[in-house]
Amino acid sequence: MKKTLFFLTLTLLAFISFGQSYRVNETSDGVSFNCKMQLLEETKDFQLYKVSFPSPKAPFWKNAQLVKGFYYKPIISHDEDFKPRPAVLCMHILGGNGGITKGIASFFATNGLPAFMPMMPLFLDRRPNLSMNQALTSPDGPRYLIEGLEAIPGDIRRSLDFLASLPEVDKNHLNIIGTSLGGILAAHATGANPRIEKGVFLLGGGDLADLLSQGNEEVAPIALAIQFCPPPAQARIKNAIQQIEPLNYADVLAKKAAQGNIRMYNAENDQIVPYANTKKLADAIGLELEKDFFIMPGVDHYTAIAGLPKLLSEALEFFQTPESAQAAANSAENSKDHDTAVIKGLFQELQFLLAGTPAPGKAIDIEMAIRFLERGNEKFAGNLAINIDANRHRILLSDWRGLGDITAAGFGVADTPWVTSGNGTQFLGDETPAPTLLSLLPTTLTGYRQMGTFLCQNIATTGSLALLQQMAGLTYDFTGKDRQNLDIKVEDRNILIQLDGHCPKSIQVAGPDTMVQIEFKRWSTQAEVKDEDFLPPNADAPAKFNVNSDDLVRSLAAVLNHGMTTLIVK
């Protein structure tokens, strides 16, 4: 059996290498089909393939005749101990270029689970030679919508057929995850396909007809196409919507939920999928709040990305079997090449900094010189020092130029919060309990910090930039003596990180008209804790004012929020 599997795998790989087809014979509808796989790239963690196969109910326009998608195959050793892995079908969002869903798929593959992101009709490579908005608002808009919706159930079934045909996939453990529209389609698919074992629905809900009738910018083109659908086609479009309505599969979903195989994550302030629609689906399938139904506080449909780090980690654990989790851990442990070791070390350091969590009993102690240039001319420059331990922090700006009258400033928390200005004036908080500064910063900024921490944690664990490659489209290489320079390209920006071991020595970010240069004078996330590192500078300065700690922190948060808003607007 093992020899047969080995030769089948070799044959399949031979076809794949040349982008040729193989036959999928075991299918849900008994109809076999040809599948083409073409290798696009290979990382140390996975191989990325462009996949295509015929749609069983193909829409009328040429680009939608084939189901197209991206398959992320983990690097798996097919030795005598090889065991097929659980696989994940990843359903994409309504808008964008697929980057978020590609990132989700690459996350699972990097952690050992095969993942496939199929494209639905009207999206990405399956759009007509128009944007989705142009197609839906054209004279053929109703037909585009009707035939696109009607194709979805069959395209998902065939995507499952494809996954189940792969030798590295355990067809008894097929799972699905989806976001926004993809979350709704994932809920439909989990109810409609007995082969799906577990489902995770992100930002989804029930009553699709109601969601599509709302006047938000996300669904406006679809709502218009429905509105102007001619009377003879109205019944057809309503039927197409009902075919993918998750509430119509509530009985099946409820049985899977009772087995602990369903999870839903939604945003408290979601303006695209309102809480009423979310709760309608959760109640219909018997999910329990904080058990298998989770509401992310303080975020909306777009800022919910702040919760992605946590829920992806939970989804990975949810989909893994004990065997696949151990195999992924063994693979990570065996990654010891130079590039992997450097990436692990560097992003572990960045994780400490972003999370603000030094090792127990240690402190973060970093000082850097920063220059910002525009068209070769210096706009501003200065020094920044950061000290953080388990309960205290200090941030100091010194010798700044280009910021008007501001040449120096600082703030921190020792026993109580404090703020100091360039002229030596100090504002010292009293013992009044005050909120933390982080709790008063914008949700979006907090989300970016959480996302950055998650990415750093993932990269530090795997030693791979694969997740960032898929989400941001970056490329990278190690250059310089002993391969100690990490050269990253993202769109029209080039980031060069010079390393001293696993710590950054300098960072240069170059764009078409701007450049940021950072030289690190000190970098340690394992420094000895010193009480004086958390006190205001010039602690003996005469100009001191004792103020209410709560007022001090809130005033500082207001200034920082204003500054960040100004930077974002500009």
The DSSP code sequence of 338-368 is: HHHHHHHHHHHHHHHHHHT-PPTTEEEEEEE
Residue tagged 């076809």 (tokens): 15
**pLDDT (0 to 100) of residue 178:** 95
Distance CA(148)–CA(140), nearest Å, equals: 12
Closest C-alpha among 77, 59, 79 to residue 68? 59
CA angle 126, 128, 130 (to 5 degrees): 125
Distance CA(468)–CA(403), nearest Å, equals: 33
Return the structure tokens found at 514: 């701007």
271 Cβ neighbours under 8 A, 6+ residues apart: 216, 300, 301
The DSSP code sequence of 266-288 is: EETT-SSS-HHHHHHHHHHTT--
280 Cβ neighbours under 8 A, 6+ residues apart: 205, 206, 207, 247
Distinct helix (H) and strand (E) counts, the chain: 17, 22
- Give, to the nearest 10 degrees, the angle between helix 220-227 and helix 141-165: 120
Closest C-alpha among 395, 416, 419, 399 to residue 408? 399
**pLDDT (0 to 100) of residue 17:** 43
Residue 454: CB atoms within 10 Å:
22
SS3 for 126?
helix
Closest C-alpha among 250, 60, 53 to residue 155? 53
Strand order in the sheet with 21-24: 21-24, 33-42, 46-54, 66-74, 115-118, 85-91, 169-179, 196-202, 262-267, 293-296
Distance CA(172)–CA(321), nearest Å, equals: 11
CA distances in angstroms from 480 to 5, 15, 484, 485, 498, listed in the order given:
43, 38, 6, 5, 9
Backbone phi, then psi, for 99, in 5-degree steps?
Answer: -60, -45
Distance of CA 425 to the CA centre of its chain: 43
Length of the chain: 570
pLDDT tens, residue order, the chain (570 aa) = 444 444 444 444 444 444 568 899 999 999 999 999 999 988 878 899 999 999 999 999 999 999 999 999 998 766 657 789 999 999 998 776 788 898 899 989 988 999 999 999 988 889 998 887 888 888 888 889 899 999 999 999 999 999 999 999 999 999 999 999 999 999 999 999 999 999 999 999 999 999 988 777 777 788 888 887 888 788 898 999 999 999 999 999 999 999 999 999 999 999 999 999 999 999 999 999 999 999 998 888 887 877 787 888 899 999 999 888 887 777 666 655 778 888 888 988 888 888 777 878 899 999 999 999 999 999 999 999 999 998 888 989 899 998 888 888 888 888 888 888 877 788 888 888 877 777 776 666 666 677 777 778 778 877 778 777 777 778 888 888 778 889 999 888 999 999 998 899 999 999 999 999 999 999 998 899 998 898 888 766 667 888 888 888 888 878 777 766 655 444
**pLDDT (0 to 100) of residue 539:** 61
SS3 for 167?
coil
Bridge-based pairing of strands 493-500 and 503-510 is: antiparallel
- Give, to the nearest 10 degrees, the angle between helix 275-284 and helix 250-258: 70
Closest C-alpha among 450, 440, 276, 429 to residue 351? 450
Distance CA(238)–CA(301), nearest Å, equals: 26
Beta bridge partners of 524: 365
Return the structure tokens found at 183: 């979350």
Burial 205-229 (b: 16+ CB within 10 A, else e): bbbbeebbeeeeebbebbbbbbeeb
Beta bridge partners of 264: 201, 293
Beta bridge partners of 46: 74
Q: Residue 493, class by beta-carbon neighbours within 10 Å (0-12 exposed, 13-18 middle, 19+ buried)?
A: middle
Sign of CA dihedral 161, 164, 167, 169: positive
**pLDDT (0 to 100) of residue 479:** 87
**pLDDT (0 to 100) of residue 522:** 94
